[in-house]
Structure 1
Amino acid sequence: MCLEKRWPAGGPEWAAVGVLLRDGKTLLIKRVQRAGDPWSGQVAFPGGRWKPGEDLLGTAVREVQEEVGVTPRGLVGVLEPHSPRNAPWLKVVPFIFTEWEGEVAPNPREVAEARWVSKAELSEEEWISGYAFVHRDWVIWGLTYRILKRLIDCGIL
């Protein structure tokens, strides 16, 4: 089964991303360039690290609000945790949402650009680091590629 209805509580080695789905598309962001950020300038789902006092659902909601200005609702489930290859100790849980309050408005301190992307708009290509999707001028690789691949394989996207 692809979607789970339960998720871990969170902790210092946990993070969450929000996968927003609308009309067969998902929202992806391109992170701003920032010194000291290992994922600076990369394409991602809105999300980030767990903070004390919240569960992972709270992390996903907070990070989506901070990065793209909407409040997720309509949780349909979560995917299994994934880990970035450059931080294998970090476990990232993708939360899948089909509803939210507000209009997407990227926070310019964190997000350079946001796009709604469908499966049909992605081309899969082989890269030096493995496989990646390409969407116009974006290369989507690493953890984001693996989460997108899982969404496609599960028939969610």
Structure 2
Amino acid sequence: MCLTGVGYAGGPGWAAVGVLLRGREVLLIRRVERDGDPWSGHVAFPGGMWRPGEDLLGTAVREVEEEVSVRATDAAGALPPLSPGNAPWLKVVPFIFTGWAGEPRPNPREVGEARWVGVDELRETVWRGHAAFEAGGWIIWGLTYRILKRLIDCGLL
């Protein structure tokens, strides 16, 4: 199954990421390194935890704006929820956006770097025993790798 609708209510144990597509490129971030953060320094999509009073599409829009200073628009749909290997209780919904306002600028409290990565840059590799992509020196594994694989398999990237 590829894209679903965007009508996810959210709740405790839910999160959303924003997948910004620009042709055959996708916006990825490298998280800042922080003690106690299980995703510290990882390559990811901008995103985060659901908050009361918002649906998951709202979570994705808010998190993209907080992390890379752009307002995501034109939601094309969502991929079905996935869970990170280190947090199987967490359900993450990747929302696909084909429009945004502004140029990505990392929020230095959360994001060390943000850049557009083209599908032709992704090289299959193995990292610490896990299937991964390498792109421009970044190792992309785990949930981000699985989302990218779905995007490629669905012909979205």
Conserved in 2, the CA contact under 8 Å of 1:122 and 1:135?
yes
Percent pairwise identity: 69
> Any residues of structure 2 matched to 1:139-150 within 5 Å, and which?
139-150=139-150
1:78 partner letter: A
Structure 1: any 5+ residue segments left out of the alignment?
none
> After superposition, what is the alpha-carbon deviation per residue over 1:10-56, rounded to whole angstroms, capped at 9, x for unaligned?
01110000000112100000000011111000000000000111100
Aligned to 2:107: 107
1: CA distance, partners of 2:23 / 2:94: 19
Give aligned pairs, total: 157
Pairwise CA distance, 1:118? 1.1
Give the SS at the match of 2:86: coil
Classify the secondary structure of the residue corresponding to 1:149: helix
TM score, norm. by length of structure 2: 0.97
Pairwise CA distance, 1:8: 2.4
* Paired residue type of 2:149: K
1:5 equivalent in structure 2: 5
Instruction: Give structure 1 regions of 4+ aligned residues with deviation exceeding 6 angstroms.
Output: none
* Structure 1 residue aligned with 2:52: 52
- Mapped contact 1:16–1:92 kept (Cα < 8 A): yes
Equivalent residues in 2 for 1:3-152, closer than 5 Å = 3-152=3-152
**Distance in 2 separating the partners of 1:69 and 1:19:** 14
Does the CA contact (< 8 Å) of 1:69 and 1:102 recur in 2?
yes
TM score, norm. by length of structure 1? 0.97
RMSD value, Cα:
0.9
Amino acid paired to 2:51: K
